Amino acid sequence: MLTRPHEKEGGAMRVLVTGTTGVVGQEVVRALTRSAGDIDLVRATRRPARPDEVAWAMGQQPPPERLRGHWDAVVHTAASTRWTMTREEALAANIAPAEAVLDLVDDRTHLIHLSTAYADGTDTEDHAVPSAFGRYRNGYEWSKAECEDLVRRRHGGPLTIVRPPLIIGSRADGSIGRFTGPYTLVQCLVSGLAAAVVGSPDGYAELAPVDQVAEVVTDAVYGEPPSSPCTQVIAGGDRCLRLGELLDTVCATLNEWRAERGIAPITPPPFIAPERWHRFFLPLAEEHLSPVQLQVVRLLGMFESYTSLDRPFVHTRRADDPATALARSVRWWADSRPRLASRIPQPWGVMA
C-alpha cells in the first residue's frame, strides 16, 4: 500500500525519474502520477516520447539546466538490460549514467536505484553459458553489480536499492510498456524456434509483475528515507514458479488464445538437461544449424541461468501470484502481437 509522503517544508517534493521510456520507468511514472502525494515530478530519458520528458544522454553529456538543483528523491531506472553487452558497452550504457546521476544528488536526496535480483552473481564460475564476467552471467549483471557498489560508495545520503527478477506484465491485465526478457521465449515458442528448453523442470524461475516493482519504488519515494542503505528484493519465495510450471502456463495460455481463433495449438517443447545439452547437443548445433538458428540457440541458452535456479531468492517483498500474472502477460502479448501469436511453428531442419 502507498503511504503519504514524508513531511517536507516548503511544499511539494521534487522528484526526478530517469529512464521514463523504459519498462519500469514508464510504470513508476504512472504509479507516481496516480498517487495522492504532493510531488513535483520531472522525467528524464535519452529519447523523449512526450513533450514533458527532458532529453538527456546520461553519461555522454552534462545534465540540462532543468535537472540541476536539490532533489528530494531521484529514481534511477535508466539502463540497458541487454544480456549480450561487452564490458565497454555495459560501462557506457549503465555505469556512466549512474555516475552522471550521482552528480545530481546531495546528501539530503533519497536515491532509489533500480538494480536486479541477479546482481550477486552465481556461487561459482561454472556457468551454463561461458561468461567473460567471472561470477556474473553477462555484462548486464556485472554492470548492475558495479552500479550498486558505485552508489553505495559515493552517495552519502539515503539510499534504497530495488532488485527485481525477470519482469512480466501487470497484475491487473498483463500490460507492459515493452516486450523484452521473458517475452523472447514466448515468441520463440510460437515460431518453433524453441525446439527444446534447456534446464530442469524443477528449477526455480523468478518473475515479478512490473506494477509491483513500481509499487516498491513508489513506496520508497513516499516513505521515510532509510537511515542506512536499504535493499528491497522482489521475489516469489516459496510461491516461486518452477520452470515446468512456467512453460505449462505459457503454452496453456497461448493455446487458449489460439483455440478462440480456430488456430492449431502449439506443442510444448521437451526439456533437455543442461549437462546433456552442452556436452552433446550444442556441439552438433554449432556444426549443423543455420546462423539464424544458432543465434536463437545461444539466446535461449542465456535463459537457462534465469529459469533453472537452485533455490528462490530471499525476498523483502513477495511477488504476487506469479502464475496468474504470467498468464495475463502472455495473453496481453498475444492480443498485442496477433500475427506472431497466430504463427504455425515450423520444424527445425539442418543445413545440407
Q: Compute the distance between CA of residue 83 and CA of residue 64 in angstroms, rounded to an integer.
A: 30
- Cα–Cα nearest to 73, from 100, 96, 106: 106
Q: Compute the distance between CA of residue 29 and CA of residue 212 in angstroms, rounded to an integer.
A: 13
Residue 311 lies in a domain: no
Q: Compute the distance between CA of residue 331 and CA of residue 337 in angstroms, rounded to an integer.
A: 10
Instruction: Tell me the pLDDT tens digit for each residue of 3-27.
Output: 444 545 557 899 999 999 999 999 9
Containing domain of residue 118, as a range? 13-163
Instruction: Tell me the pLDDT tens digit for each residue of 253-272.
Output: 999 999 999 999 999 888 88
Q: Compute the distance between CA of residue 131 and CA of residue 19 in angstroms, rounded to an integer.
A: 27
pLDDT at position 348 is: 61
Specify the DSSP class assigned to residue 58.
Answer: T
* pLDDT tier for residue 229 given thresholds of 50, 70 and 90: very high
Question: What's the helix, strand, coil split of the chain in %, to 5?
Answer: 40, 15, 45
Q: What is the CATH number of the domain that holds 58?
A: 3.40.50.720
- The count of structural domains within the chain is 1
Helix or strand (DSSP H, E) at 271? strand 271-272
Q: Give the least confident one: 45-54, 103-112, 320-329.
A: 45-54
Q: Are 29 and 20 in contact (CB under 8 A)?
A: yes
Helix or strand (DSSP H, E) at 291? helix 291-307
Residue 302 lies in a domain: no
pLDDT at position 1 is: 43
Instruction: Tell me the pLDDT tens digit for each residue of 304-329.
Output: 778 778 899 999 999 999 999 999 99
Residue 182 lies in a domain: no
Checking if the pLDDT of 116 tops 90, the result is yes
Residue 270 is placed in which grid cell? 521437451
pLDDT at position 209 is: 98
Phi and psi angles of residue 160, each rounded to the nearest 5 degrees, phi first = -125, 125
